[in-house]
Structure 1
Amino acid sequence: MSVSQITPTLFLSGADAALNKALLSRRGITLIINVTVELPCAEHQGVECLRVPVSDRPHAQLGEHFESMADCIRGNRTGSTLVHCAAGMSRSPALVMAYLMRYEGVTLRQAHDWVRDCRPHIRPNAGFWRQLLDYEKKLYGKNTVKMIATPLGVLPESNISEGDPECCLSW
């Protein structure tokens, strides 16, 4: 079970952490945001659970929830917030990056680096990246991340070494 602390009151994980009452208590979690279609919301005394019913597919519309969930995270004054999806690799990190852009005033590049520093194995799918790029453009009028198609999939350029021969094209 891996729980990553993003800010003093914001945590990111896979689904297993939401089921561990002792862990939630230790971290002061009073709000869980479940970013899955397939997993039930955890039920714990004193912990609210919100569902963002989005599948981990490039066509899924996670961006429709960026602002409302960022507002919920920001508005949680009773304790900490845990954002989770099935593995804590795609949906929940994308939602957390949107929160960081909106309320911590960072660019998408900075939000990605921040979350990746806390949870190194994140990998939002290409559709979520497009939605994050659109959101950054809406917030700041520009984009700070360039996407590169590789044999491993579409990745932000910060995940690619300078001069990496596996880089095929950018968009």
Structure 2
Amino acid sequence: GGGSPSAFPRHIHQHPPGLAPAPRITSNLYPGDVVATNSHLLLFTHCISTIINISLEVANTLCPDVRYLHVPVMDGPTTRISSCFDSMAATIHGWGHVGSDAAALCCWGEQVPTICLADLQKNNSTSLAGTHAWIEPCHPILQPNNGFWQQLIYYEYKHFSINRLQKISSPLGLTPNVYENELGVMLLL
């Protein structure tokens, strides 16, 4: 079963003036971009000790006392990102038991929110629609490509034997129903 988004932890961070906080998803998971993951001050301020780089193109500026894990995944509708869902979820879940470790995910495309959505499904027993509602405030442009959505929908079915998220027909083609409100607004413009 899935939890409701209002039951999920929300964290407020104290941060130095002029340093934007990384959007925290769970106690040990931050989605990040190349700027965030290469900012030594940001990594130190948020006690981030491990970075998972899941892009093909991005090279990290190595920071002392930070571990780097590179899992190259292309951002493309035919990419089999689901092949790393379980291993990434296990890695991220393991950090939660280590103590103060936190992870930042780094890439250019939509691999980061896709991995976060899969992680929350597995490690928090949350539906795909629930994980989307959880992550959206942290990553407002949350639009995995259609291939990634299909893999996430299958992953939900694999874990819960049901799909709560469905695809609907829209002028843009088949679209996950979590975008139904945005599509309505777009059609009014």
* Pairwise TM-score range, normalised by the shorter structure: 0.7 to 0.9
Q: Distance between the aligned counterparts of 2:182 and 2:139, measured in 1?
A: 22
The Cα offsets for residues 15-43 of structure 1, whole Å up to 9 and x where unpaired, read as: 21110011001111111111101112442
CA RMSD after TM alignment? 2.2
Partner of 1:80: 102
Displacement of 1:162 in angstroms is 9.2
Match for residue 122 of structure 2 among 72, 83, 102? 102
Higher relative contact order structure (alpha carbons within 8 Å, sequence separation ≥ 6):
2
Q: Between 152-161 and 25-34, report the one with greater CA deviation.
A: 152-161
| Alpha-carbon contact 1:32-1:83 (below 8 Å) kept | yes
Q: Distance between the aligned counterparts of 1:106 and 1:151, measured in 2?
A: 29
Match for residue 54 of structure 1 among 70, 73, 80? 73
- Larger strand proportion, structure 1 or 2? 1
Where do 4+ consecutive residues of structure 1 move more than 4 Å?
none
Relative to structure 1, is the Cα distance of residues 80 and 165 closer, same or farther in structure 2, using a 3 angstrom cutoff? closer
In structure 2, runs of 5+ residues without a counterpart are: 1-19
Relative to structure 1, is the Cα distance of residues 154 and 28 closer, same or farther in structure 2, using a 3 angstrom cutoff? farther
Q: Does 1:143 align with 2:163?
A: yes
In structure 1, runs of 5+ residues without a counterpart are: none
Q: Does 1:44 align with 2:63?
A: yes
Q: Distance between the aligned counterparts of 1:84 and 1:149, measured in 2?
A: 32
Partner of 2:12: none
Q: Which has the larger radius of gyration?
A: 2
TM-score, length of structure 2 as denominator length: 0.79
Q: Between 154-163 and 1-10, report the one with greater CA deviation.
A: 154-163
Match for residue 129 of structure 1 among 149, 154, 164? 149
| Alpha-carbon contact 1:2-1:14 (below 8 Å) kept | no
Displacement of 1:8 in angstroms is 2.1
Displacement of 1:157 in angstroms is 0.8
Q: Secondary structure at the match of 1:160?
A: helix
Number of aligned positions between the proteins: 165
Matched ranges for 1:3-82 at <5 A = 3-76=22-95, 77=98, 78-82=100-104
Displacement of 1:13 in angstroms is 1.8
Q: Between 154-163 and 15-24, report the one with greater CA deviation.
A: 154-163
| Alpha-carbon contact 2:81-2:148 (below 8 Å) kept | yes
Relative to structure 1, is the Cα distance of residues 154 and 45 closer, same or farther in structure 2, using a 3 angstrom cutoff? farther
Displacement of 1:11 in angstroms is 0.4
TM-score, length of structure 1 as denominator length: 0.87
